[in-house]
Amino acid sequence: MTHFRHAAIAAALIVGATTANAQTTVITREPVQTQTIVTEQPLQLTPVQRRTIYRTIVRERVVQAQPTIEYRVGMRVPPTAQVYTVPEAVAVEVPAIKTYEYMMVNNRVVLVDPATSEVVDEIVD
């Protein structure tokens, strides 16, 4: 009986020591930061707004860009291209374009997004 008691105590000590050595590991992860991509709606201008923009900018008499280059919506304008800020008179009449820049090419007003240098619209009279 004594051997049984000693064996039981030894077994309890071994189990207790093993349990004490086992540790629970908790792994926490930092929250994943996702980048929010904001896609702007395409610039939609009414015919009246287009006429207002074109006529006001033509009165500004800005220097026309190289007529040999034809810019299309979505193209990038080279950094060497001369772009102008939208006149205040146009920005008041058509607030949707106040953040854009423009250039004159082949008697067309080419609206450029200054953040990306992309052509966002062409306006012809």
* 78-106 confidence digits (pLDDT tens): 888 888 898 888 888 888 888 999 888 88
Residue 112 in any domain: the answer is yes
User: Which pLDDT score is estimated for 37?
Assistant: 43
Residue 6 in any domain: the answer is no
Going along the chain, which residue ranges are E strands? 84-85, 101-105, 108-113, 118-123
C-alpha dihedral sign at 35, 36, 42, 46: negative
The β-bridge partners of 119 are 112
Residue 9 in any domain: the answer is no
User: Which pLDDT score is estimated for 113?
Assistant: 92
Q: Is the pTM of this model over 0.75?
A: no
Residue 81 in any domain: the answer is yes
User: Which pLDDT score is estimated for 118?
Assistant: 92
The terminus-to-terminus CA distance of the chain in angstroms comes to 110
CATH of the domain at 66: 3.10.450.160
Print the domain residue range for 77.
47-123
Residue 5 in any domain: the answer is no
User: In the chain, which residues have pLDDT < 70?
Assistant: 1-8, 10-23, 28, 30-41, 62-68
Residue 3 and residue 10 in contact, taking contact as beta carbons nearer than 8 Å: no
Residue 61 in any domain: the answer is yes
Residue 78 in any domain: the answer is yes
